Amino acid sequence: MIHEGILSTIGNTPLIRLNRVFRESRFRLFAKLEGFNPGGSAKDRPALNILEEAIEAGVIRSETVIVESSSGNLGIGLAQACRYLGLRFICVVDPRTTQQNIRILKAYGAEIDVVSEFDVKDGEFLQARINRVKTLLRANRDSFWPNQYANLANAAAHYKTTMREIAVYLNGNVDYLFCATSTCGTIRGCAEYVRDYNLKTKIFAVDAVGSVIFGGQRAKRLIPGHGAARRPELYLPGLAEECLHVTDLDCVVGCHQLVRSEALLVGGSSGGVLMALNYSRHRIPPDATVVLIFHDRGERYLDTIYSESWVKEHFGAVSSLWHDEARDLKEEEECVTMTY
């Protein structure tokens, strides 16, 4: 198939059957592999949709400078789309942004603006980055802020593409969808599609322990991607049936389990999504169809989740991840769950 440029390869990612990871479970399990997007994650979809909607509305013109705070996947999606569309892009990052991501952003031609101090009021980098974005917007008169946490075009991207693709591939026959959350763009787009098309799908949100999206106490988290230090404007009560909270170690264990059983090298939140299903699988009927969204690929986690020394430093000797081939996932009940 011939595509009209790189941006037209965004979306239509594979939906694959996972037969091995839960050998004893009878439900049909699928994973939507968002790492197949050209920028490596689900965030290519909102990056493109936000820009396209703003271009169509005349808010972005050829001279407009795009300014966004992101240290990860959305930044890379925007850098790719801005390069292709010939737009200048300033990405505001903080010292926790990995060198690898900074190199990728720069390779696409993004300008990097590093915030080095926490916000004085809340002691967080997130607010400090947003403050810096606002300063840059004031300094550049013709500028545009995608504002991924509040922009409805973020959720719309997943309504128009991600959930639609899942529903079409499975003829609307999706009983459970497990989705990691940060801006809530993915879950909101999927939930609104399910509502509008009267699908029977029950959506389980997967959030990080230490994230405050669905309530709870803010705490330090090691694995980027899912979770947020504040509730995003895109959040709405009732988006999900339930929210399952997973720890950093859950993500690590889930990722290793996916490599071992399915030869799938995926990012941290995907491991968390797998473990959220693991913790709740006793509640899934045998004839159900379950879909997991895997937001990104594993290559950007080689120095963390897939590094034996990093895992040892943070979690102690979890050598069974690498050496105990026979280890199988156990159903465990102690996952933190919250109903709302």
Ligand X SMILES: Cc1ncc(COP(=O)(O)O)c(C=O)c1O
User: Where on the chain is the footprint of ligand X (CB under 6 A)?
Assistant: 41, 43, 72-74, 180-187, 225-226, 267, 269, 295-296
- Expressed in angstroms, the distance from the first to the final Cα of the chain is 45
The smaller minimum CB distance to ligand X, of residues 66 and 187, is found at: 187
Pairing of strands 65-69, 88-93: parallel
How far is residue 131's CA from residue 125's CA, in Å, rounded to a whole number?
10
Angle between helices 268-280 and 248-262 (to 10 degrees): 90
3-state secondary structure of 176: strand
Picking from 197, 202, 205, 203, the residue whose alpha carbon sits closest to that of residue 172 is 197
Residue 211 makes CB contacts below 8 A (sequence gap 6+) with 181, 182, 218, 221, 226, 227, 228, 229, 245
The smaller minimum CB distance to ligand X, of residues 180 and 203, is found at: 180
Q: Residue 2 Cβ, how far from ligand X at the closest point, in Å?
A: 30
The smaller minimum CB distance to ligand X, of residues 254 and 267, is found at: 267
Q: Residue 187 Cβ, how far from ligand X at the closest point, in Å?
A: 6
Q: Residue 273 Cβ, how far from ligand X at the closest point, in Å?
A: 8
The smaller minimum CB distance to ligand X, of residues 74 and 199, is found at: 74
Q: Residue 290 Cβ, how far from ligand X at the closest point, in Å?
A: 18
Q: Residue 272 Cβ, how far from ligand X at the closest point, in Å?
A: 8
CB atoms within 10 A of CB 131: 16
Rg over alpha carbons for the chain, rounded to the nearest Å, is 19
Q: Residue 328 Cβ, how far from ligand X at the closest point, in Å?
A: 25
- From the centroid of its chain, how far is CA 27? 25
Are the CB atoms for 208 and 245 separated by under 8 Å? yes
Tokens at 225, concatenated: 């991607």
The smaller minimum CB distance to ligand X, of residues 175 and 296, is found at: 296
Tokens at 140, concatenated: 């550049």
Tokens at 286, concatenated: 């045998």
Tokens at 251, concatenated: 């993500």
Are the CB atoms for 253 and 311 separated by under 8 Å? no
Residue least distant from ligand X (Cβ): 225
The smaller minimum CB distance to ligand X, of residues 74 and 104, is found at: 74
- Per 3-state DSSP, what percentage of the chain is helix, strand, and coil (rounded to 5)? 40, 15, 45
The smaller minimum CB distance to ligand X, of residues 186 and 257, is found at: 186
Q: Residue 12 Cβ, how far from ligand X at the closest point, in Å?
A: 18
The smaller minimum CB distance to ligand X, of residues 94 and 296, is found at: 296
Q: Residue 24 Cβ, how far from ligand X at the closest point, in Å?
A: 28
3-state secondary structure of 30: strand
What are the C-alpha distances in Å from 127 to residues 92, 144, 227?
A: 11, 18, 15
Q: Residue 60 Cβ, how far from ligand X at the closest point, in Å?
A: 21
The smaller minimum CB distance to ligand X, of residues 34 and 175, is found at: 34
